[in-house]
Structure 1
Amino acid sequence: MDKQDERLRKSERLCSKKRIDLLFGTGGSHAMTAFPLKAVYRLIDSVPASSSPDGDPETASVQMMVSVPKRHFRRAVKRNRVKRQIREAYRKHKHSVIRHMDGQAGKQLLIAFIWLSDELSDTAAVEQQVGSLLQRIGERV
């Protein structure tokens, strides 16, 4: 795999409020858990570049976001550490789900990773859980 493919670009991040509401608001989303993570995902029709709500001309086939609730970690330093660990693990393992999405033209996958535990985990454990979640999502899509 090329080093350029391992980057986590802005177009791969789920930032649009409309798409986040689409992921969590209406029915049709699926969830799976690999403690201490929960992944909520939804397959949607891809929006053409000209009418994209974000104004982003190049939208990736898979977009992700990370959420670490404040009730689990009161200090922002710990929340940011967990988010960094999840983003890094996603960056390394995203090819497993992108490979499955390449065959589906006109579709886009939205994924949200939610932290469930009150304790910090080491990076290797987080990476293993994110990898298993992405593999399972890829098989179901």
Structure 2
Amino acid sequence: MRRNLTKNEIVKRQPEIDRIFKTGKTQSCRGLKLVVSKNDLGLDRIVVIPVRHFGNSVQRNRIRRQIKEIWRKEKPRMIPGYDFAFVVYPGKVLENEIQTKQLISLCEKAGVFLQLEDIPIV
């Protein structure tokens, strides 16, 4: 089973990122902001943006990897067809369990999770 994200699941172009921020709805919690925008592709895509003064490059890349991994694990529960932009702010480094709870609560607030009756049984 493939454990990383495909190229189609990552938003890279600046016009696409700008569209997410213009048309998206925002949810936030301590140290993390989520902007969700509908797309016409039928699949979910993600971009993780640490703010300018977020540590050094090692810390910025680490937080990108951590959030993408949490998102990848939770992706089967999500409604397809959305673009996600996570903006990460500097602060105390949180444990993985706390980051996971934050990300899940932001996605629940945004209303992008499938309802229990919509989840396919595998």
TM bin, normalised by shorter chain, reads 0.7 to 0.9
Alignment-derived partner of residue 37 in structure 2: 42
- Tell me the distance in 2 between the aligned counterparts of 1:12 and 1:115: 19
1:68 equivalent to 2:50? Answer yes
- Match runs of 1:4-23 below 5 Å: 4=2, 7-23=4-20
Note if contact 1:85-1:127 (Cα within 8 Å) is conserved in structure 2: no
The amino acid that maps onto 1:18 is P
Q: Rg: which structure is higher?
A: 1
Number of residue equivalences: 113
Percent of pairs identical after alignment?
A: 24
Q: For structure 2, which runs of at least 5 residues remain unmatched after alignment? A: 115-122
Note if contact 1:62-1:111 (Cα within 8 Å) is conserved in structure 2: yes
- Match runs of 1:1-141 below 5 Å: 3-4=1-2, 7-24=4-21, 26=22, 28-46=23-41, 61-73=43-55, 75-97=56-78, 100-101=79-80, 108-137=81-110, 138-139=112-113
The CA deviation string for residues 11-59 of structure 1, in whole angstroms up to 9 with x for no partner, is 10011222112112x3x3200013221101111334xxxxxxxxxxxxx
Q: For structure 1, which runs of at least 5 residues remain unmatched after alignment? A: 47-59, 102-107
The CA deviation string for residues 42-93 of structure 1, in whole angstroms up to 9 with x for no partner, is 11334xxxxxxxxxxxxx61110001123132x1111112111111111111
- Tell me the distance in 2 between the aligned counterparts of 1:88 and 1:32: 20
RMSD after superposition: 2.1
Note if contact 1:82-1:120 (Cα within 8 Å) is conserved in structure 2: no
- Tell me the distance in 2 between the aligned counterparts of 1:139 and 1:127: 15
Alignment-derived partner of residue 56 in structure 1: none
TM-score, normalised via structure 2 length: 0.78
Q: How far has the Cα of 1:139 moved from its partner?
A: 5.0
SS at match of 2:39: strand
The amino acid that maps onto 1:32 is Q
TM-score, normalised via structure 1 length: 0.69
SS at match of 1:132: helix
Q: How far has the Cα of 1:135 moved from its partner?
A: 3.0
